[in-house]
Amino acid sequence: MTSEIKKENKTKRAYKIVLRPLVTEKMAIEAGKNKYGFLVNRTATKKDIKDAIEEIYKVKPTAVNVANIQGKFVYRGRVAGKRSDFKKAIVTLASGQTITHEGV
3-state helix/strand/coil string of 72-85:
CEEEECCEEEECCC
Kindly report the length of the chain: 104
**Domain of residue 42, residue span:** 2-93
Task: Tell me, yes or no, whether 9 lies in a domain.
Answer: yes
Give residue 68's pLDDT.
97
Give residue 102's pLDDT.
64
Strands of the sheet with 61-69, listed across from one edge: 18-21, 35-40, 86-93, 61-69
CATH code of the domain covering residue 81? 3.30.70.330
Which pLDDT tens digits describe the chain residue by residue (104 residues)?
466 666 678 889 999 999 999 999 999 999 999 999 999 999 999 999 999 999 999 999 999 999 999 999 999 999 999 999 999 999 999 989 998 876 55
Task: Tell me, yes or no, whether 89 lies in a domain.
Answer: yes
Task: Tell me, yes or no, whether 83 lies in a domain.
Answer: yes
Give the distance, in angstroms, between the CA of residue 28 and the centroid of all CA atoms in the same chain: 14
Task: Tell me, yes or no, whether 104 lies in a domain.
Answer: no
pTM, full prediction: 0.85
Based on the structure, what is the number of domains in the chain?
Answer: 1
In contact, 103 and 23? CB cutoff 8 Å: yes
